[in-house]
Amino acid sequence: MKILRSQDGSITQDIEKIKQRMSLFADTVTVEMEEKTKEVFGESLSPMESVKRIVNDVREKGDDALKFYSDKFEKIALPIDDFRVKEDEIEEAYKKVSPDFIKAIKNARENIRIFQEYIRVREPKPFYSNGTRIIVNYKPIEDVGIYIPGGTASYPSTVLMNAIPAKVAGVKKIVVVSPPCKDGTISPERLVACKESYVDEIYKIGGVHAIAALTFGTETIPKVDKIVGPGNIFVTLAKREAFGYVGIDILAGPSEVLIITDDTANYAYVASDLLSQAEHAPGVSILVTCSEELANKVIDETSNQLSKLPRGNLIKESLDKFGVIIITRDLDEAIDISNTLAPEHLQVVVKNEEEVLPKIKHAGAIFTGSFTPVAVGDYVAGPSHVLPTGGTARFFSGLSVNDFLKRTSVITYSEDVLRSAAKDIITIAEAEGLEAHAQSVRIRVDK
């Protein structure tokens, strides 16, 4: 991990470089991705060029394009009829996971459900003012698609964190797309999580073509109204391309944690938190502390714990590329750095957190105290772990039940009320050069 000391001079440029590495569209395209793209298209294309080509093909050719790209990218020649997961596959999945896993999923589901119901926006009473009546309605989005990544991890928690808020909102149909394993199946953990989260349909398909299918619909996969869920740079770009045809949640980059500590923090806990974030491979792990002694202990402990982890090589690569320890003059400087970076996950482990928390301006989620690792939020706490990354916590919030609701205003004016407002409406309309707008009022009041 790289070490920076503010005492050595200005670290403004170093902080700016960290921001660039945390960017949504930072260089997260691997050599393997580049080779695969060239193999499929016969030429070198940028990620955006690849995305546009796949999206257009799926839009124009439907299932034929899905079959082609699934064969090429996932190397699995699934018949179209086998894209949708069948009920007996879900039943079989329950036999392959432990009772403890099922119990944990159910417990996590209930925690998420209870919290999401608690924060669900309520319709206000009708608004009355000078004879005007305005009713505000909140209605659920009808159909939602959820992208669940595959890769080296199973991510049943991501199913829960996307599907349960949608279900609490009252979404009519929830569709999950997820890349299959090499044997053409979806991991039993993901399938069990889907069933326990009341998902209606599951499809064995991933990548850009899955996003395109949800956006435009094909003969097999239904079109949805909104797409949520994380993915790699190609999936993120595909969601950006889909926006406008459908709604999306957020554009997410590599996962990240920033930890603010003083000398009272437990160095072993801090080291474990840095490692857990790096386990996403890539994952950005940043420690900002005013204690050099603690920083040195964390460095030693990180090496010690790393040697015992099964994904140690991947974690080390992530730490070497995205791991940073910043030693500051004081806590105020640490807070300023955090606010500049606006991290996805912020851990605050200090003696007087009540003095620090009011100064925090930007973070996707904040975890306080020695016994609140990010893993609590990842799995069971209740707020969704789908959070803004790459500094976008400055203007985005994490996914919640309210992101699956649409707000509509129902406005009612009586004749008398319209007459009282007519002069103002007409004056503004005429100032804008919209005479027909003004006339739509005159025709009602000039009698």
Say what the pLDDT of residue 30 is.
66
Contacts of 28 (CB under 8 A, 6+ apart): 232, 233, 253, 254, 282
C-alpha angle 78/81/82, rounded to 5°? 50
The pLDDT of residue 244 is 96
Write down the pLDDT at residue 24. 67
Check pLDDT > 60 for residue 27: no
Using CA atoms, how far apart are residues 350 and 290, in angstroms rounded to an integer? Answer: 10
Q: What would the pLDDT profile of 402-434 be if each residue is shown by its tens digit?
A: 999 999 999 999 999 999 999 999 999 999 999
Report pLDDT for 361: 97
Q: Are 97 and 364 in contact (CB under 8 A)?
A: no
Q: Do domains 2-26+253-381 and 80-248 have the same CATH topology?
A: yes
Q: For residue 25, what pLDDT is reported?
A: 62
Percent of the chain with pLDDT over 70: 98
pLDDT at position 28 over 70: no
What is the band of 375 on the pLDDT scale with cuts at 50, 70, 90? very high
Sheet of 201-204, strands arranged across: 201-204, 173-178, 143-147, 226-228, 247-248
What is the spatial distance between Cα 6 and Cα 370, in angstroms, rounded to a whole number?
25
pLDDT of residue 152: 60
pLDDT, greater one: 326 or 312: 326
Q: Count Cβ atoms below 10 Å from residue 434 Cβ, excluding itself.
A: 12
Tens-digit pLDDT profile for residues 76-105: 888 999 999 999 999 999 999 999 999 999
pLDDT the model gives residue 66: 95
Instruction: Please name the residue that has the structure tokens 């007996």.
Output: 88
pLDDT confidence tier of residue 22, bands split at 50, 70 and 90: confident
Say how far apart CA 342 and CA 340 lie, in whole Å: 6
Higher pLDDT, 272 or 76: 272
Per-residue pLDDT at 418: 96
Is-contact 133 125, C-beta < 8 A? no
Q: What pLDDT, in 10s, does the model give residues 157-176? A: 999 999 999 999 999 999 99
**Least confident among 179-183, 213-217, 298-302, 418-422:** 179-183
With a pLDDT cut of 90, the percent of the chain lying above it is: 78
Q: Taking the complete model, does pTM exceed 0.75, yes or no?
A: yes
Q: Per-residue pLDDT averaged across 10-29, rounded?
A: 76
* Mean pLDDT on 306-313: 87
Residues 251, 24 contacting (CB under 8 angstroms): yes
CATH of domain 2-26+253-381: 3.40.50.1980
More confident: 378 or 75: 378
Q: Considering Cα of 295, then 296, then 300, then 301, what sign does the dihedral take?
A: negative
Asked whether residue 222 carries a pLDDT value surpassing 80, the answer given is yes
Give the separation between CA 376 and CA 124, rounded to whole angstroms.
33
By DSSP bridging, strand 323-327 and strand 2-5 are: parallel
The amino acid that residue 346 corresponds to is: L
Fold classified for 80-248: Rossmann fold (3.40.50)
Q: Mind listing the pLDDT tens digit for each residue in 332-358?
A: 999 999 999 999 999 999 999 999 999
Q: Which residues does the annotation mark as catalytic? A: 344-345
pLDDT at position 213 over 90: yes
Mean pLDDT of the chain: 93
In the block, residue with structure tokens 């406005």: 411
> What's the confidence (pLDDT) of residue 26?
61
Residue 166 main-chain phi, psi, to 5 deg: -65, -40
| Contact between residue 326 and residue 337 where contact means Cβ atoms under 8 Å apart | yes
248: β partners: 227
Higher local confidence (pLDDT), 34 or 381: 381
- Cα separation of 61 and 57, whole Å? 6
Domain boundaries, given as residue ranges, for the chain? 2-26+253-381, 80-248, 413-445
